[in-house]
Structures are given as structure tokens and as C-alpha cells.
Amino acid sequence: MSTRWQYAITIFMLGIILPNSLIFAQAQTQKQKQKLNIAVMDFDAREGLSRGEAASLSDLFSSQLVATEEFIVVDRNRIKNILTEQGFQQSEACSQVECIVEAGKILKVQKMFAGTIGKIGKIYNVNIQMLDVTTSQVELNKSYQHTGNIEALAEEVIPELAREIAEQVTGKQIDKIAVGRTSSSKWLWYVGGAVLVGGGAAAYYIYYMQPETKQPIVEEKLPGPPTLP
């Protein structure tokens, strides 16, 4: 293939791929603007649960909210760094409304999530709240009791609570099977579709529309059997 045709094909494919990429980027930016900015504080550990276990469950709850792709969630390590830099003192888990709202103002988010987790016998009691930073009002309060071990609490209960809360806040149905895969799937469809369309059009142009004279293909034949004398 000549350099001229290689250049033409490259320009043609870029003309297909770049507009689709820009449209996708604009859609993602608009979607980002509509998302709530939130942060998740460490859950308060009550009787029967250590602070480390409560913090780990808080991390899991936060990661599940991220996986729904419906919120802009402040990174948990960043929360601790920002609050420390601002001189925010947290002797225990921050569970009082005033404490949570103050932390939300420092973090510059719209909503704050906090909660308590405790254990009585074999029953885990989970309570999660969502507070509005501007009004200091508790806008959501969800409680759940789980009978079993802490592994099941982490693997089943916390993810399900995160999904239910996301549905309640956004008004959307969150498919737990497809969680975390929507954006990447859309991106693959955009790019893959653009490449297929561009490649197909380029191939059609090369073989049916180019004015250059094609050289006939010479088929090489195997020599026949030798002639007997």
C-alpha cells in the first residue's frame, strides 16, 4: 500500500474515533456533575466489635458505594489526611451529628455517611445514616440486624445495604451483578464500534474506490509430472 493511502486511512479513522471519544467524554463529564459528593466516616464500634473491625466494614461500605458509580466518594485515606491537616480531633469514631457535619464542611462534600455497628450475642446491629452537610439534617437512617458471623456481614449484608441505600438516594435501580462494569463496557462499545466502522469503510475504499491500477495476482503452479521417454 502506498504512503498516500496509509495517510488517508489514518485521517479517516481518526475522523471516526475522535468524535465518538469526545461525545463519550462530554457525557461522562455531565454525569460527574450530577453525582453527589459524599464521604464515609469510620463506623462507631459498639459492644462486641473492635474499632479495627468497624473501620474495615466502613472501608467496605465506602468501596461498595464507589462501585455503584452513582457518587463521587472521597478516598478514605484522603479523609483522614485532610481532617488531620485541619486539626480535626476525633477521639473515638465521629458519631454525633455536629461532629459529622463539621467534618463534611472540612471535606467540602454534600452528604456524609456515618454509622454504628455492635454485637449482642450472635446478633450484629448495623445502623447507617446519611446527613446533609448544609442543613445538618439526617436524611436517611437504615438499620439491619444480622445473625451469624462477621464474614457474612462483610460479604453479604454491607454490600446489600450499600446497594439499597444507593437506590434510595438516587431513585435508580442498581444491579448488583453489573456493579462497577457499566462505564468500562460503554467505553469498549464506543471504541470498538468506531474501529469497526472506520476499518470497514477504509477497507471498502481501498479495494473498490482507489484509482490506482491493481497488479494481477500471478498464481504459481506446481510443475507437472515429468514426461516419460
**Architecture of domain 35-170 in this structure:** 3-Layer(aba) Sandwich (3.40)
pLDDT tens, residue order, the chain (229 aa):
556 566 556 666 666 665 555 554 454 444 555 899 999 999 999 999 999 999 999 999 999 999 999 999 999 999 888 888 887 765 454 668 888 899 999 999 999 999 999 999 999 999 999 999 999 999 999 999 999 999 999 999 999 999 999 999 999 998 764 444 444 444 344 444 444 445 555 444 444 455 554 455 455 555 555 566 5
Cα distance between residue 119 and residue 97, in whole Å: 23
Q: Which residue bears the cell 468506531?
A: 194
Within 10 angstroms of residue 77's Cβ, the number of other Cβ atoms is 9
Phi, psi of 219 (to 5 degrees): -85, 130
Question: What is the DSSP track for the chain?
Answer: --HHHHHHHHHHHHHHHHHHHHHHHHHHHHHHHHSEEEEEPPPEE-TT--HHHHHHHHHHHHHHHHHTTSEEEPPHHHHHHHHHHTT---SS---SHHHHHHHHHHHT-SEEEEEEEEEETTEEEEEEEEEETTT--EEEEEEEEEES-HHHIIIIIHHHHHHHHHHHHH-S---TTTTT-HHHHHHHHHHHHHHHHHHHHHHHIIIII--SPPPPPPPP----PPPP-
Q: What's at 63, amino acid-wise? A: S
What are the tens digits of pLDDT across the range 102-147? 999 999 999 999 999 999 999 999 999 999 999 999 999 999 999 9
The distance of Cα 79 from the centroid of its chain, to the nearest Å, equals 19
Q: Where are the domains of the chain?
A: 3-28+182-209, 35-170
- Nearest alpha carbon to residue 126 among 105, 142, 107, 147: 142
